[in-house]
């Protein structure tokens, strides 16, 4: 019953746009690299019927359990794997799931994790500072917060959270160690900022995002996984990526634009020496954004950006 409630409360972002962007066809083979609660996966299975197949991957074992219950009616059309998408090619090789018609990444934190699983993703929760997507990972947010040098903390907040007050927050964290729960850390930052919000954003938002990205090595994994996904696509296959903050979107945009060019030599080089060949065609040069209706219905979607490219 709990699993049913969790996935029934999940609202997938840019759902129609994802199905259209992937150009889902009956009998197609698709990969959802961040299956979460299964909203996008279910829509892809519906659109690819009859005969469609879906490989769903998630580093979070709880997400795999939730989605397994949701997608049980689709039987053998679904294969769910608890793993990190940084291992995408190895997973597909293990299950002979290639080439494929489409690959989807829905980046960032899922609604399941924000709802509270005892891992401290939400700054409103009295939960341990964990933030690991998978319990098999070793490094936790508590390790970073309570053991890293102040300079290293500030750099994580600057580079992964784009936090303008990174030095001050790092200094306060070091001065108030140990910090053991998400709420403790959030309250410290809130007091430091005078208890106010920056518009709609809680003052701890950027810090929590930076810690989560650092713990899970998200940006490094994304760069590798995009390259792997491109190799797994058959000719005409689509790559679709939803990002929720500028760091992710910059990685995706840069990758797609580079892979859509024949030459990537630095400006000023008179003759091409890189030998690079384009592998992708941009479906839309600008990111696809949610409609006003969707953002009103689902406020979490307001920062979503969808980019789509096609294998050539």
pLDDT-derived band at 60 (thresholds 50, 70, 90) equals very high
- Mean pLDDT of the 269-281 span: 83
- Mean pLDDT of the 217-238 span: 97
Q: Where are the beta strands (DSSP E) in 6-111?
A: 29-32, 53-58, 78-82, 100-106
- Mean pLDDT of the 216-236 span: 97
What average pLDDT does the chain have? 91
Domains and CATH numbers, the chain: 2-106+218-311 (3.40.50.150), 117-216 (1.10.150.170)
152 pLDDT above the threshold of 50: yes
- Mean pLDDT of the 282-289 span: 94
Task: Tell me the C-alpha distance between 146 and 144, whole Å.
Answer: 6
pLDDT-derived band at 163 (thresholds 50, 70, 90) equals very high
Runs of H (alpha helix) within 148-240:
150-161, 166-175, 182-192, 205-216, 218-232
Task: Tell me the C-alpha distance between 285 and 109, whole Å.
Answer: 26
pLDDT-derived band at 11 (thresholds 50, 70, 90) equals confident
* pLDDT computed for residue 9 by the predictor: 56
Task: Tell me the C-alpha distance between 154 and 82, whole Å.
Answer: 33
Residue with tokens 């005892």: 118
Q: Are 140 and 130 in contact (CB under 8 A)?
A: yes
* pLDDT computed for residue 123 by the predictor: 77
Dump pLDDT digits (tens) for 236-274: 999 999 999 999 999 999 999 999 998 777 777 777 777
Q: Is the peptide bond before 178 cis (omega within 30 degrees of 0)?
A: yes
Tokens of 29: 């083979």
Dump pLDDT digits (tens) for 62-100: 999 999 999 999 999 999 999 999 999 999 999 999 999
Dump pLDDT digits (tens) for 102-140: 999 999 776 666 555 677 788 777 899 999 998 899 999
Q: Are 170 and 179 in contact (CB under 8 A)?
A: no
Residues 6+ apart with CB under 8 A from 108: 243, 244, 245, 248
Task: Tell me the C-alpha distance between 144 and 211, whole Å.
Answer: 8
Q: Are 215 and 289 in contact (CB under 8 A)?
A: no
* pLDDT computed for residue 2 by the predictor: 46
């Amino acid at each position: 019953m709990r699993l049913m409630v969790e996935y029934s409360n999940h609202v997938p972002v840019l759902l129609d746009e994802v199905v259209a962007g992937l150009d889902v066809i009956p009998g197609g083979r698709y990969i959802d690299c961040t299956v979460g609660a299964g909203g996008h996966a279910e829509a892809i299975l519906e659109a690819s019927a009859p005969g469609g197949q879906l490989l769903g991957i998630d580093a979070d074992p709880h997400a795999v359990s939730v989605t397994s219950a949701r997608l049980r009616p689709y039987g053998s059309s679904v294969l769910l794997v608890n793993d990190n998408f940084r291992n995408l090619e190895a997973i597909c090789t293990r299950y002979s799931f290639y080439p494929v018609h489409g690959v989807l990444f829905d980046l960032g934190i899922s609604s399941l994790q924000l709802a509270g699983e005892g891992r401290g993703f939400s700054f409103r929760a009295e939960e341990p500072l964990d933030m690991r997507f998978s319990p098999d990972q070793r490094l936790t947010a508590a390790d970073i917060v309570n053991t890293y040098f102040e300079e290293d903390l500030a750099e994580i907040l600057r580079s992964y959270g784009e936090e303008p007050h990174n030095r001050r927050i790092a200094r306060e964290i070091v001065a108030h160690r140990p910090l053991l729960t998400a709420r403790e850390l959030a309250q410290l930052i809130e007091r430091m900022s005078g208890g106010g919000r920056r518009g709609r954003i809680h003052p701890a938002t950027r810090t929590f995002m930076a810690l989560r990205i650092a713990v899970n090595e998200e940006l490094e994994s994304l760069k590798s996984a995009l390259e792997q996904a491109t190799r797994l696509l058959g000719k005409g296959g689509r790559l679709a990526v939803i990002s929720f903050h500028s760091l992710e979107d910059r990685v995706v945009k840069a990758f797609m634009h580079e892979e859509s060019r024949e030459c990537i030599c630095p400006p000023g080089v008179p003759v091409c020496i890189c030998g690079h060949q384009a592998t992708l065609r941009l479906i839309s040069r600008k990111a696809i954004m949610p409609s006003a209706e969707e953002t009103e219905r689902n406020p979490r979607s307001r920062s979503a950006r969808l980019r789509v490219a096609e294998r050539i």
